[in-house]
Chain A
Amino acid sequence: MHDIVGAAANFINLDTTNLLYLVFVGFVGGLVSGFIGSGGAFVLTPAMMCLGVPGLVAVASNMCHKFPKALVGAIKRAKYGQVDVKLGLVMGVSAEAGVLYGAHIQEGIKRSWGDAGSNLYVSMAFVVVLGIVGTYVLLDAFKTHKSGNADAEEKVTKLARWVQSINIPGTMVYFKSLNARISVLFTLPLGFATGMLAATIAVGGFVGVPALIYVLGAPSLMGSATELVIAFVMGMGGSFKYALHGLVDIRLSMVILLGSLFGVQLGAIGTTYVKPVMIKIVMGAIMVIVLFSRALMVPVYSAKLGLIQPLSEGLVKVLKTTSFGIMIFALLLGAVIILVSMWKGLRSEHKTVTKEALEHGKI
Chain B
Amino acid sequence: MANKKSSKKKPYGKAIIFGLIASALYVTLLTHQGLITANFTRGGLLYALLPIATAFIFSFFHGTFTSTFWTVLGIEAKKKKEVK
Contact = CB atoms under 8 A, between A and B. Distances in A.
Contacts of B37: 11, 249-251
Contact of A64 (B45, B51, B66, B75): B51
Interface residues on B, range: 35 or more
A345 B41 contact: no
A14 B77 CA distance: 35
Contacts, number: 136
Contacts of B54: 250, 254
The secondary structure that dominates the B interface is: helix
The secondary structure that dominates the A interface is: helix
Interface stretch (A236-244, A286-294, A319-327): A236-244
Given A14-B30, A349-B78, A153 B63 contact: no
B62 A257 contact: yes
Contacts of B9: none
B24 interface: no
Nearest to B42: A246
B52 A246 contact: no
Given A5-B41, A14-B30, A345-B78, A253 B51 contact: yes
B29 A245 contact: no
Contacts of A75: 63
A239 to B, nearest CB: 6
Contacts of A14: 30, 33
B62 to A, nearest CB: 5
Interface string B53-84: 01110110011001101100001111101011
Contact of A266 (B33, B42, B70): B70
B73 to A, nearest CB: 10
Interface in A54-71: 64-65, 67-69, 71
Interface stretch (A114-122, A300-308, A329-337, A354-362): A354-362
A68 B55 contact: yes
B78 A273 contact: yes
Given A244-B44, A246-B42, A257-B55, A346 B79 contact: no
